[in-house]
Chains A and B, each alone.
Chain A
Amino acid sequence: MKFLQPISVRLFYTLLLTLGLVWIWLSAVPASTVMNGRISSPQSGFQAPDFTLNTIDGQNIKLSDLRGKAVIVNFWASWCPPCRTEMPALERVYQRYKNNGLVILAVNSTVQDSRKTAQDFVSQNNLNFPVPLDDSGLVTRLYRVQSLPTTFFINADGVIDEIVIGGPMAEALLISRVEKALRMLP
């Protein structure tokens, strides 16, 4: 800035900061257009895409029916070692918090698994949370799951708070996220 005299430099800085303030004001977001959670997309801050699936014990489960609860949607397959490793932790967390408003949906990506081995794994590990079966792979694709396990933490408004890709998740991570979500319940 050698070409500018000290007074001009100060004038330039003042102009720059004033323009900055004008830009902040011009690019302010009108309250009506705040998009957080408006669009349904498998991304943090967006409404979790709705789905309906049959569980391993034949019940029908719809994600949007779970509004008002903290929901963990965990995509897994029985051949995936980190999925198998984190399941006991998910079960312990479920047992501890299910009466406080936590729901865990362990969506088996059955399109890339076998229903039989998934069922065997669930019974061997005494998993008590609902295990929806994604036979067609539609929900796996809808949530753009690229790696197993992938876990979505969904709040009471149905908005995705966080996505954890890969695993196994540390149990403390699960507990801390669940406790945070439960504190936000209405």
Chain B
Amino acid sequence: MLPILQIGPLALPVPQLSYLLAFWLGLSLGEKIAVRRGFPPDALFNLSIIGLITGLVFARITYIFQYTGAFIQSPISMFSLNPGLLEPTSGLTFAILGMLIYTRQSKLNLVKTLDALTPVLAVMAIGIALAHIGSGEGFGSETTLPWAINLWGANRHPSQFYELTAAVVILSITITRAKSGWMPGKLFMVFIGCTAGANLFLEAFRGDSNIVLGGLRVGQVLSWLILSAALFGLEFLKRNTHDEGVVNG
């Protein structure tokens, strides 16, 4: 694990670097695929940047509201670059809301927009896995399997590498299928379904799962619900639209 990349006097946090790099690469890939699929790449760029900025700003504002006393004592901290002063759930909610408003204002087709965003999300999933490898988070449960890695004082499933492998496979599927003539929305639904399915399977090998209801892993329950929604979404799309034929690229 490599939480900090030390280059001379400069200490770079690997997880944050991974997120940043994945966002940039994902956006570049997404724009290329968007051109092939006839989606305006500028709209994808604006959408992603709006999502990023809205998410960060509201994640900080929510955190400030949660700990107002702390910021009254140290108002300058409101502008701190420290990622620990962010509330991620609210950030994500507002990022989605901001993107929805932009989609509506720009009169973009929602399902085609979701398809255009899929490559960005698929590369971000790789970024998350790399961040986990760097920080050691998302570590595996103890095992005696020969490919176990010694981490945090025990031999464990290399769960971060399982996660990375799944993300790479899902990205390959995304890139391959993005060129096909799937009906609008199918690419996004398949991506969500595959990601939820992979997480549902791989969460079982993690050693840091949150537990509910006498031992059930929260991550698995949520993944199952998301997988169900994705399968329902695929059925819904199938009934209401048709495949468009192969996209030339």
Q: Which residues of A contact B (CB under 8 A)?
A: 6, 9-10, 13, 16-17, 20-21, 23-31, 34-36, 39-41, 43-46, 89, 92, 146-147, 162, 164-166, 169-177, 179
Chain A residue with the shortest CB-CB distance to B67:
A176
B207 with A35: CB separation less than 8 A: yes
Contact status B200-A20, CB under 8 Å: yes
Q: Which residues of B contact A9 (CB under 8 A)?
A: 235, 238
In the complex, what residues of B have CB within 8 A of residue A165's CB?
A: 3-4, 11, 13
Q: In residues 189-205 of chain B, which contact A (Cβ within 8 Å)?
A: 197, 200-201, 203-204
Interchain CB contact under 8 A, A166 and B11: yes
Q: How many residues of B contact A (CB 8 A)?
A: 50
* A176 B70 Cβ-Cβ under 8 A: yes
B18 at the interface (CB under 8 A from A): no
Q: Please, how many angstroms separate the alpha-carbon atoms of A174 and B220 in the complex?
A: 33
Q: What number of A-B contacts does a CB cutoff of 8 Å give?
A: 127
Chain A nearest CB, measured from B141 CB (Å): 7
Q: With A28-B215, A175-B73 in contact, do A170 and B201 touch (Cβ < 8 Å)?
A: no
B66 within 8 A of A: yes
CB-nearest residue of chain B to A30: B215
Most buried by A among B142, B203, B208, B238: B208
Shortest distance from the beta carbon of B69 to any chain A beta carbon, whole Å: 7
With A24-B217, A44-B137 as known contacts, state yes or no: A173 contacts B227, CB within 8 Å: no
Do B70 and A24 have beta carbons less than 8 Å apart?
no
B241 at the interface (CB under 8 A from A): no
CA distance A35 to B152 in the complex (A): 12
Question: In the complex, what distance in Å separates the CA atom of A16 from the CA atom of B196?
Answer: 12
Interface residues of B in 44-83 (CB under 8 A from A): 63, 66-67, 69-71, 73-74, 76-78, 80, 82
B85-A171 in contact (CB<8A): no
Known: A28-B215, A45-B208. A173 touches B80 (CB 8 A): yes
Min CB gap B223→A, angstroms: 8
The answer to whether B80 touches A170 (Cβ under 8 A) is yes
Q: If A27-B204, A41-B152, A175-B69 touch, does A21 touch B11 (CB 8 Å cutoff)? A: no
18 other A-B residue contacts (CB within 8 Å) besides A26-B204, A39-B152, A175-B70 = A9-B238, A13-B235, A20-B223, A23-B204, A27-B217, A27-B220, A28-B215, A29-B215, A34-B211, A39-B153, A41-B152, A92-B73, A166-B4, A169-B84, A172-B70, A172-B71, A172-B78, A173-B77
Most buried by B among A6, A13, A21: A13
- B-chain residues with CB within 8 Å of residue A46 when the two chains form the complex: 152-153
Given contacts A29-B209, A45-B208, contact A172 B13 (CB under 8 A): no
Alpha-carbon distance between A92 and B73 when the two chains are bound, in angstroms: 10
Q: How far, in Å, is A184 (CB) from chain B's closest CB? A: 15
Q: State A40–B208 Cα separation when bound (angstroms).
A: 14
B150 to nearest A CB, angstroms? 11
Q: A172-B78, A173-B82, A173-B84 are in contact. Are A20 and B224 (CB under 8 A)?
A: yes
